[in-house]
Every structure is written in structure tokens, then in C-alpha cells.
Amino acid sequence: MTFRKPIGDHWSVYGLLSVGPMFTDTETERLSKGFAFADVVAIGISYHTRHFTLDFRPELRHTSNAGLQDSNAGINTYNLEFGIQF
């Protein structure tokens, strides 16, 4: 789910919430291998032109298996994403 607010002719800011399934083939001390979920919360800014869009967003991602396997301490990561869309 994305919530976007234009600011001016070329800029916009947005908030992003995402939950999705994933599969991992590696077991760690915090998370069993197999089925898990990745939850993402981000706030971003975009610059739009006629031919492309530049995007930047810092985000927080939490990965866990919702208690479906033995190890489920979860893993939190902080990420910076950059993108360009033509």
C-alpha cells in the first residue's frame, strides 16, 4: 500500500507499507529456513519528469516466520533504496 502526496510540479513524497511471503534456504540463529514473511515500512521522495522518475527511500524491514518454525526471533534491517524508472 502506498500513500503519495505531490509537492510541486515534479516532486512527491510517499509512505509505503508492505507485507509479503518469502522463502529462505538458509537457517540462522534468529530464523529457521523455509517459509517466512517480510514486512516493510518506508518513507520516500520521488522526482518526476516526462521521461523518467528518480526515487529514494529509507526503509525498515522485519523478517519473521510468525512462529511457524522453531527459531523466530526475527531479523530487522534498515535499508536505503534508490531507483530510476524510464
Query: pLDDT for 6-25, tens place per residue?
Result: 999 999 999 999 999 998 88
> 37 pLDDT exceeds 80?
yes
Tell me what pLDDT residue 51 has: 96
With b for 16 or more beta-carbon neighbours within 10 A and e for fewer, the 22-55 pattern comes to eebeeeeeebbeeebebebebebebebeeeeeeb
Q: How many domains does the chain have?
A: 1
In this structure, what C-alpha cell is assigned to residue 5?
502526496
> 39 pLDDT exceeds 90?
yes
Which residue range(s) make up the domain with 8?
2-85
Going by their DSSP bridges, the two strands 2-7 and 53-64 should be labelled as unpaired
